[in-house]
Amino acid sequence: PFGTALDTSSAEFKRIVDETNLPPSVRLAESGDAKVQAEMTQSFGNAMLMGLLLVLVVLILLFKDVIQPLTILFSLPLAIGGVAVALIVTQNALSMPVLIGILMLMGIVTKNAILLVDFAIEMKRHGLERVHAMVEAGRKRARPIIMTSIAMSAGMLPSAMGIGEGGSFRAPMAIAVIGGIIVSTVLSLLVVPAFFLIMDDLSGLLGRIFGRLVGKKEEEDFGLSNEELTQENRDLGERLRRLERENGIDHDMLSASGGAKVLRLPPMAAE
């Protein structure tokens, strides 16, 4: 691209006005595209804040936890770094289409982190140690994360090349999205597991300090696996045999009745 970006030109005009000794009756007033961009930039900040709050609320409801959703929010700066790299490489300036692309990245990047964190939490609930749970999450979820990121980047490629009418307006947005997706996908597979372990330690610490309000909750009751069910049956049989010995009941007191084994209780017990 040639020329100077609008925000750069506006900042230079403001600097010149500030350094020039103008009479009080003369002032600088923004109009046209400069005024529109200033208003939209302020609205973008409000939209970004509202989007972050909504994402946080949804994640808290999904995970039933206050601490672990922060792991997913910490992955958002990874996308911002990718946007910055893409704009520098392609020599594009920060503009309103780029800001729109950053809003789009919020949903894409959080989706990748949710896939990892949710699977790791599920594995922990089934008894897997937390490091092994996150390793398993990375192994099982890396392929769908990479495939969806490649598909999204490929879909944005024609817009990034400026093909079609209005391509010059869409190109910065597509470039920002592609850069954010590529960088965040690679780094999320490395950074999100580290943040997950840090937040898990923090959750345990807050759980010990403040109790169940903000810390770890009691583990939910899940169905037993085949191995656990076999062990439970074995333990139950041992307890029954111990109870028989303590009450002086032996297996000779068991007799067949109608094809089923019936336990004959002693007279006092029967009364």
Q: What are phi and psi of 80, to 5 degrees?
A: -60, -40
pLDDT of residue 160: 85
Which range in 7-16, 40-49, 141-150 is most confidently predicted, on average pLDDT?
141-150
Alpha helices in the chain (DSSP H): 6-19, 33-63, 69-73, 76-90, 96-125, 130-160, 167-210, 226-246, 267-270
Q: Answer yes or no: pTM beyond 0.85.
A: no
Q: Are 85 and 179 in contact (CB under 8 A)?
A: yes
Distance of CA 128 to the CA centre of its chain: 20
**pLDDT at position 220:** 45
Mean predicted confidence (pLDDT) in 112-123: 87
pLDDT at position 252 over 70: no
| The pLDDT of residue 178 | 92
Q: What is the H or E stretch that residue 32 is in?
A: none
Kind and range of the H or E run holding 221: none
Q: Helix (H, G, I), strand (E, B), or coil: what is residue 2? A: coil
CATH superfamily of 34-213: Multidrug efflux transporter AcrB transmembrane domain (1.20.1640.10)
CA dihedral 85→86→88→89, nearest 10 degrees, is: 110
Res. 108 pLDDT band, cuts 50 70 90: confident
Q: What is the mean pLDDT of the chain?
A: 76
Q: State pLDDT tens for residues 39-73.
A: 777 777 787 888 888 888 888 888 888 888 888 88
Buried b (16+ CB within 10 A) or exposed e, 196-220: beebbebbeebbeeeeeeebbeeee
CA distances from 118 to 112, 251, 259 (A): 10, 51, 50
Locate the domains of the chain by residue range.
34-213
DSSP for 154-175?
HHHHHHHTT-STTHHHHHHHHH
**Calpha distance 268→39 (Å, rounded):** 90
What residues does 261 pair with on adjacent strands?
256
pLDDT at 52: 83
Q: Is 82 exposed, middle or buried (0-12, 13-18, 19+ CB in 10 A)?
A: buried
DSSP letter at 200 equals H
Which range among 45-59, 95-109, 142-156 has the greatest average pLDDT?
142-156
